[in-house]
Structure 1
Amino acid sequence: MSRQLLAMALAPLMGLFILGIGNGFLATLISVRMDTAGESVTVIGIVSSAYFIGLALGAMFNDRLLLRIGHIRAYGSFASLVAVTVLLQGMTSDPWAWLVLRLIGGWATVGVYLVIESWLLTSGDQKVRGRLLALYMIALYAAGVLGQLLLGVVNDMGSTVPFMVIGMLASLSVLPMAMIPRVSPLIEHAEPLPPHRLITLTPTGVMGSLGSGMVVAAAYSLLPLYLQRIGMSVAEVGQMMAVLILGAMLLQYPIGRWSDRHDRQMVLIAISVFCILISAAMLWLPLSTPLLAVLLFLLGGGVFALYPVAVSHAADRAPAGALVRMSQGLLLINSLGAALSPLMISPVMTAVGDAGLFWAFGGLSLFFALFFAWRRSVRPAPIPVAPFTATTPMTAAGAELVVTEELIQGALDHEHSEDLSDAVPDVDVAEPLVGPPEPEESQVAYFEDDVSVKRE
């Protein structure tokens, strides 16, 4: 990676890290604060869903605003809105006001991710996207772990201090973007594949993406509630959530590499069965703190690996021309699952108690295991066309980061080796699914001093 490219990517990665520290413990903070205030699990689930609905809406529509005003102004606008919504949450305890603020905050947060991911996407060609994605993941997960560990510290400083800290971090994240030279590349409008075409192309990928969204959203929004209700302090809840995210960071890649050497459908079945076993252990084993930490570490590795393995499986089937739009569509399916999850699981916790979270985890995992097994019996998985790529992008534009040159070449080789017309009859591979080809360097459009100019 050239020094110039690293300098181009440094500002958005620094902004992501600073914002991610506060955002990393915000969902945990909201869940434990609402529980302390005596709100029901159902109300907490509704407020949590509002955030993920905002994420989904922003992922679909925020790129239009970015195309109009440019990366730097868009980042400043979105980050300022994140800060305002968080600070307002510190000024009120009304759950319905929090619902509206979380909806707006989700919309603004995904706008921040859109700026960062599209900046990285257009900073380098396909040959370096894998390294840029690795840096993105390191910044995102490291910020999440650090944020959870800071939760106990800032929570002890006062009831409003955590919201003030998150607001300050969101505001500070603008500085790296604002202090660099005012030059940033344009992006193309993202147009994901519609759901009916995704289901035709990869039913397993769609169900894996949906299931991943459901379990990951429940882990972020409802697991802190469970931990607090079994007697843990706010600091201990943050520590356990940090262990969960650490498991996601450390185990995702080994599981993915394992899927390169085996049938990815079998790996998806194994992940689902593994989550069933972890859920059963959480329900029936006498939990000491060390055992709980081990189980949460393993649970994080399992639930966070489900989505990238499902996307990799889908890429094994997709024609080269559909890879980008397929990844974007699966990301939106994942967001839909995340929005539905708290609404579906919180009533289970109300009905059967706090342990209902893991009854729901186990039930969902059993359903997905049976579905993946059925799909494997109907249509065995293909040979992987390219090595597994860990996946964490938050927006449809950033989903293109995982579509590397190696993956495209593997898909092209796969197309030449077999006739795909029967396998994906509803996908017209001749259609230009990924938009126009990238312009030559001399024709790239830039925003300079907030005015769109074209360098000849």
Structure 2
Amino acid sequence: MPRHLLLMSLAPLLGLALLGIGNAMLTSLVPLRLSATGVSSEAIGLISSAYYLGLGLGALVNDRLLLRIGHIRAYAGFASLVAVAALAMGLGDHPVVWFLLRMMIGWSLVGVYLVIESWLLSAADPAVRGRLLALYMIVLYGAGVLGQLLLGVTAMLSLEAAFMLVAMLAAASVLPLVLLPRVSPLIEQSEPLSPWRLIRITPTGVFGCLASGLVVAVIYSLLPLALGDGGILSTAEIGQRMALVILGGMLLQYPIGRWSDSHDRQQVLIILSIAIVGFAALLMGPAREGIAQLTVLFLLGGAAFTLYPVAVSHAADRAPAGALVRMSQGLLLINAVGSTLSPPAVSLPMAEMGAMPGMALSLAVMGGGMLLFFVWRRVMRPAPQPLAPFETHAPQTPLGTELAVGPELVEAAEEHLRDAEADDPLVEVTRELVADMPELITEASLDSLEEIEVKEEQALQEERMLPK
């Protein structure tokens, strides 16, 4: 990677690392603290979903806010809100207050991620975005692992001090962006595709992203609660096991994704669904403790965290080149919907059956549902030939999906459209999809895409000059 690119990316990635460590600690700290104070599993599930609700709402509106107040000030404001909310959590444990605070943290964090991702987008041309995405992923997952490992530190602190530590990390994350960079990032608005259009293009991709949100939210929000059920494991041991889950997702995502490049992606999704069912079943019995539990948690993280990038790659196999970014944005929002729904739903069987059995059974049911749907779709319509190399996905905002749309993916999508049969249903859907932007399909090069952006900017300027 060029030195100037690394220097431009240094500030946002340092900020992401500090904030990511604090957020990872907070994700496990919240359910553990609430459970220790006697809050019901149902209330904990609702409070956990509030975070993802805030993420989804922020993804829809925060880009407009950034355009008005600027990126550096916006980052400072959002990070400050995270710090304030973390400190407020140390003042009490009322469920309603914590619901609002978690939603505020989710809304603020997606604003932070928006600044970071737009910074990375402005730092590089499409030819090197893949390397930036890989670096972004390493920092994001690495911060998650480190934050979970530091969870044991909070056990030695008072309730107030634990949340003060998270607030300190959030406040410190502002310093790299204030001190290091010399330029501000740029951002362009792009509306995500509607769910209905996405379903017509790729039902498997839509369901895969929704299911990924369901599963991953349960792992992040409720697995710490399940591991701590019965008081057998200490807070430090729970953090170590959560770190192992994230590490599994980090290390196994790339090899599984590369494997999907040479195989039917629907088949890969079917195998991942079977794996989730199997690992969840093991957590209810043979793998309740010891080395067996550690191994299963590592593999469960690998299967769960790989669902989303494989589903997005499958969707990209069917998408027209001009709609790749908008499609990825829509899929990200669908993923956020799944993340919001699952914690409250899974908390019900956890309250009835016990934390670990209820959570594991819920994961098995989700995996079974995915398995049935993916098998049905494969029978109804086989997956297309993989078009472009698998790309790992870690964007937290709709804008960040542009990091994953590189030249190879665009060229492959254009080639797929040219080679499609006339009676292929995708061709009709594609024509409807790009009815408002035909240039994106008729032109077959990255240069043409840049020309379209220039034309759109000129058209916007002319529109502004028209008399009201």
Name the amino acid aligned to 1:140. L
Quick check: 1:322 aligned with 2:323? yes
Q: Distance in 1 between matches of 2:88 and 2:438?
A: 42
Change (3 A) 1:441 1:312: closer
* 1:348 corresponds to: 349
Aligned CA-pair RMSD:
2.0
| Alignment deviations for residues 46-104 of structure 1 (CA, whole Å, 9 cap, x no partner) | 10011110000001110001111222111111101111011100111111110110111
Count of aligned pairs between the two proteins: 444
Asked whether the equivalents of residues 63 and 190 of structure 1 are also in contact (C-alpha less than 8 Å), the reply is: no
Gaps of 5+ in 1: 446-456
Per the alignment, in what secondary structure is the counterpart of residue 287 of structure 1? coil
Deviates more, 1:189-198 or 1:421-430: 421-430
* 2:463 corresponds to: none
| Alignment deviations for residues 191-214 of structure 1 (CA, whole Å, 9 cap, x no partner) | 100000000010000000000000
* 1:373 corresponds to: 375
* 2:302 corresponds to: 301
Residue 343 of structure 1, CA deviation:
1.4
Change (3 A) 1:16 1:181: closer
Residue 437 of structure 1, CA deviation:
5.0
Q: Distance in 1 between matches of 2:344 and 2:19?
A: 27
Q: Distance in 1 between matches of 2:256 and 2:438?
A: 30
* 2:425 corresponds to: 422
TM-score by length of 1: 0.94
TM-score by length of 2: 0.92
Asked whether the equivalents of residues 200 and 424 of structure 1 are also in contact (C-alpha less than 8 Å), the reply is: no
Aligned pairs for 1:174-189 (under 5 A) are: 174-189=174-189
| Alignment deviations for residues 191-240 of structure 1 (CA, whole Å, 9 cap, x no partner) | 10000000001000000000000000000110000000042111111011
Q: Distance in 2 between matches of 1:433 and 1:7?
A: 38
Q: Distance in 2 between matches of 1:190 and 1:86?
A: 32
Q: Distance in 1 between matches of 2:185 and 2:105?
A: 26
Asked whether the equivalents of residues 391 and 404 of structure 2 are also in contact (C-alpha less than 8 Å), the reply is: yes
Percent of residue pairs identical = 55
* 1:395 corresponds to: 397
* 1:405 corresponds to: 407
Name the amino acid aligned to 2:193. L
Change (3 A) 1:286 1:179: closer
Greater helix percent: which structure? 2
* 1:310 corresponds to: 311
Residue 438 of structure 1, CA deviation:
4.6
Change (3 A) 1:368 1:80: same
Gaps of 5+ in 2: 441-447, 458-468
Quick check: 1:215 aligned with 2:218? no
Change (3 A) 1:349 1:441: closer
Per the alignment, in what secondary structure is the counterpart of residue 150 of structure 2? helix
Name the amino acid aligned to 2:296. L
Q: Distance in 1 between matches of 2:439 and 2:249?
A: 30
Name the amino acid aligned to 2:174. V
* 1:110 corresponds to: 110
Asked whether the equivalents of residues 264 and 383 of structure 2 are also in contact (C-alpha less than 8 Å), the reply is: yes
Aligned pairs for 1:8-407 (under 5 A) are: 8-230=8-230, 231-285=232-286, 287-354=288-355, 355-407=357-409
| Alignment deviations for residues 139-198 of structure 1 (CA, whole Å, 9 cap, x no partner) | 001111011011111321222121111100000000010012442232111310000000
Asked whether the equivalents of residues 197 and 433 of structure 2 are also in contact (C-alpha less than 8 Å), the reply is: no
Q: Distance in 1 between matches of 2:433 and 2:50?
A: 36
| Alignment deviations for residues 242-297 of structure 1 (CA, whole Å, 9 cap, x no partner) | 00000000000011011011000000000000111101111121533221111100
Residue 433 of structure 1, CA deviation:
8.8
Q: Distance in 2 between matches of 1:331 and 1:181?
A: 29
Asked whether the equivalents of residues 417 and 427 of structure 2 are also in contact (C-alpha less than 8 Å), the reply is: no
Name the amino acid aligned to 2:117. E
Name the amino acid aligned to 2:283. M
Q: Distance in 2 between matches of 1:95 and 1:291?
A: 35
